[in-house]
């Protein structure tokens, strides 16, 4: 372990981070919730671990809800195969923690503490994991170094590393080499990720492509979602439906004028608008923008539906199920900073649209390459693609087929990941040879 980077991290980075996050909590409600959730963290964790039944313990850490979704197929498979496995799920953000508290396969749910050396020792003392799985990128150094010091197998799941990542540049490259070299295995989404991780010249670390577990998760979620009947048939009957998911104001600035223009040519089109953060302020802002132009109704008032052209969804956790009603989908975030989950609509075999800011998602790049998705750059682009998909069934069908094929082709990452994790937690027993009375090995 490189003493220089350990010293820099613990004497400079962590103190500055601790002060910064407390200052941030004064102005940011999400940070404030995270700080409040960490009060008495170790008291609650000690209680929960004491109540936990005996068994093999696997600690899963995710930054937030999105990363935990990627862990779910692995966790579910472990629970189905091993009756004695106990899952401890930790999170950095409140959204992940709140989401997982009701997840039936998580035996213990907790926040991860501030990444000081003392906190890492205390946390691992209480959890006592037989193995640790870090999902995607939220790798906290002191916790990783403490796991390595104790010889606990540690896996980085769904790992990605872009060729232009700042982690590969000086001086972060040297720091991350010290960090990643303490992992047991780095199991990546693609072969390109493998090559990029190899630039760290890690010694003794397995780096292999196993794929993206999100494909497995989205397939299972689509099956569950189809059982949910959220919009009455009377609302969607004889209508083409566009579902716009996880939108931000920047997305709506492009989407809503294009949709208004669509209605001039075809009034039998319904827009289901799902804001990423459906706060009252956000919902009222959308309604003010639509006033006197396009009729709308909130999802919670759908029982009173009377032909409105836009349903504004004021609930959370139902986007995946809403995509099943779509003839065409738009994925938000792509006119703001980063596109959100494009696999959720793709799994239903429908054409997908998103804006130019999508290269954060390998799935979005690949979906567009296969022509399962269309990238739109402005209002005119949005209008043109909407109208094309709504008027040309063959175009719609071809794009939808490409979307679904992408998901199906990439399924199976969970099984490939478990081939590495399971032997570390349940080592195979040494083969024993039965011998006859003469001491010769029996033939089978």
pLDDT tens digit sequence for 225-266: 999 999 999 999 999 999 999 999 999 999 999 999 999 999
Q: Please tell me the CATH code under which domain 224-409 is placed.
A: 3.40.50.2000
Instruction: Read off the tokens for 89.
Output: 């799920």
Secondary structure class of 81 (helix, strand, coil)? helix
**CB-CB contact of 9 with 141 (8 Å):** yes
Residue 311 clears pLDDT 80, i.e. is over it: yes
**Which among 146, 216, 209, 205 is positioned nearest to 177, based on CA atoms?**
205
Answer for the pair 299, 315: CB distance below 8 angstroms, yes or no: yes
User: How would residue 95 be classed by pLDDT, with cut points 50, 70 and 90?
Assistant: confident
250 vs 255: CA distance, rounded Å: 9
CA nearest to 93, candidates 14, 40, 29, 170: 29
pLDDT, residue 437, reads: 42
Asked if residue 438 has pLDDT above 50, the reply is no
Token duo for residue 110: 């907790």
Cβ count near 295 (within 10 Å): 12
Burial of 280: CB neighbours in 10 Å, binned 0-12, 13-18, 19+: exposed
pLDDT-based confidence at 113, cuts 50/70/90? very high
Closest to 154 in 3D by CA, of 179, 175, 174, 119: 179
Query: 287 with 313: CB under 8 angstroms?
Result: no
Q: Does domain 19-211+414-425 have CATH number 3.40.50.11720?
A: yes
Mean pLDDT, rounded, for 205-230 = 94
Q: Which residue has the higher pLDDT, 66 or 397?
A: 397
pLDDT at 13 over 60: yes
Which of helix, strand or coil describes residue 207? strand
Enumerate the β-bridge partners of residue 90: 61, 110
Average pLDDT over residues 309-324: 95
In degrees and rounded to multiples of 5, residue 135 shows phi and psi of -95, 120
Percent of the chain with pLDDT over 70: 96
> Treating both helix axes as pointing N-terminal to C-terminal, what angle do 117-127 and 141-149 enclose, rounded to 10 degrees?
50
The predicted structure's pLDDT at residue 401: 98
Residue 293 has pLDDT above 90, yes or no: no
Q: How far apart are CA 36 and CA 242, in angstroms?
A: 39
Confidence grade of residue 399 (pLDDT, cut at 50, 70, 90): very high
Contact 314, 300 (CB under 8 A): yes
pLDDT at 294 (0 to 100): 86
Residues of the chain with CATH 3.40.50.2000: 224-409
420-437 pLDDT, tens digit per residue, is 999 999 998 776 554 444
**pLDDT of residue 441 exceeding 50:** no
Contact 338, 361 (CB under 8 A): yes
Predicted confidence at residue 436, as pLDDT, reads: 46
Asked if residue 37 has pLDDT above 90, the reply is yes
Q: Which residue(s) pair with 131 in the sheet?
A: 58
DSSP per position, 159-191: E---TT-GGGSTTHHHHHHHHHTT-SEEEESSH
Give the start-end residues of each E strand in 276-322: 296-298, 310-312
CA distance linking residue 135 with residue 146, whole number of Å: 18
Contact 260, 346 (CB under 8 A): no
Handedness of CA 232, 235, 239, 242 (dihedral sign): negative
CA distance 28 to 63: 18
Q: Is 79 left (phi over 0), alpha (psi -120 to 50) or beta?
A: alpha
Instruction: Please give the C-alpha separations between residue 268 and each of 20, 243, 312, 410, in angstroms, as whole numbers.
Output: 51, 14, 17, 36
Q: How far is CA 409 from CA 159, 224, 376, in A?
A: 19, 20, 26
Mean of pLDDT values over 100-128: 96
Cβ 246 vs Cβ 341: under 8 Å: yes
The burial of 200, by beta-carbon neighbours within 10 Å (0-12 exposed, 13-18 middle, 19 or more buried), is given as buried
Residue 444 reports pLDDT greater than 60? no
Mean pLDDT for all residues in the chain: 94
> What is the Cα–Cα distance from 354 to 374, expressed in whole angstroms?
7
pLDDT of the residue at 432 = 58
Write the DSSP symbol of residue 441. Answer: B
CATH 3.40.50.11720 spans which residues of the chain?
A: 19-211+414-425
Between the two ends of the chain, the Cα-to-Cα distance in Å is: 50
Q: Is residue 310 within 8 Å of residue 295, measured between CB atoms?
A: yes
pTM metric for this prediction? 0.82
């Amino acid at each position: 372990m490189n003493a220089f980077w350990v010293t820099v991290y613990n004497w400079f980075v962590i103190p500055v981070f601790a002060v910064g996050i407390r200052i941030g909590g004064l102005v940011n409600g999400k940070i404030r919730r995270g700080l409040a959730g960490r009060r008495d963290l170790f008291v609650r964790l000690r209680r929960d671990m004491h109540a936990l039944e005996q068994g093999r313990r696997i600690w899963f850490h995710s930054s937030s809800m999105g990363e935990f979704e990627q862990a779910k197929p692995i966790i579910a498979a472990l629970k189905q195969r091993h009756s004695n496995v106990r899952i401890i799920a930790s999170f950095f953000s409140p959204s992940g923690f709140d989401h997982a508290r009701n997840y039936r396969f998580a035996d213990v749910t907790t926040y991860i503490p501030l990444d000081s050396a003392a906190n890492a020792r205390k946390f691992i003392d209480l959890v006592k994991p037989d193995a640790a799985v870090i999902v995607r990128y939220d790798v906290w150094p002191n916790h990783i170094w403490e796991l390595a010091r104790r010889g606990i197998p540690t896996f980085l799941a769904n790992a990605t590393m872009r060729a232009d990542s700042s982690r590969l540049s000086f001086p972060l490259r040297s720091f991350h080499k010290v960090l990643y070299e303490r992992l047991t295995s780095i199991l990546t989404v693609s072969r390109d990720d493998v090559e990029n991780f190899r630039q760290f010249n890690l010694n003794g670390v397995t780096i292999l492509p196993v794929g993206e577990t999100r494909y497995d998760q989205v397939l299972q979620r689509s099956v569950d979602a189809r059982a949910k009947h959220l919009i009455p048939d009377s609302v969607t009957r004889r209508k083409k439906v566009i579902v716009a998911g996880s939108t931000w104001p920047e997305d709506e600035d492009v989407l809503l004028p294009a949709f208004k223009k669509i209605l001039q040519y075809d009034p039998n089109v319904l827009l289901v608008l799902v804001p990423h953060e459906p706060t009252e302020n956000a919902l009222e802002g959308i309604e003010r923008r639509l006033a006197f132009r396009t009729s709308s109704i909130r999802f919670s008032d759908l029982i009173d539906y009377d032909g409105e052209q836009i349903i504004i969804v004021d609930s959370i956790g139902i986007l995946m199920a809403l995509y099943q009603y779509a003839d065409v989908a738009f994925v938000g975030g792509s006119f703001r900073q980063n596109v959100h989950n494009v696999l959720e609509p793709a799994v239903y075999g429908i054409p997908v649209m998103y804006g130019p800011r999508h290269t954060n998602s390998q799935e979005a790049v690949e979906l567009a390459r296969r022509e399962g998705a269309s990238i739109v750059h402005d209002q005119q682009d949005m209008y043109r693609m909407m109208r094309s998909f709504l008027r040309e069934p063959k175009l719609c069908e071809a794009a939808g087929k490409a979307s679904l094929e992408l998901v199906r082709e990439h399924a199976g990452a969970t099984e490939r990941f478990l081939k590495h994790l399971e032997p570390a937690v349940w080592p195979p027993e040494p083969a024993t040879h039965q011998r006859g009375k003469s001491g010769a090995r029996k033939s089978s």
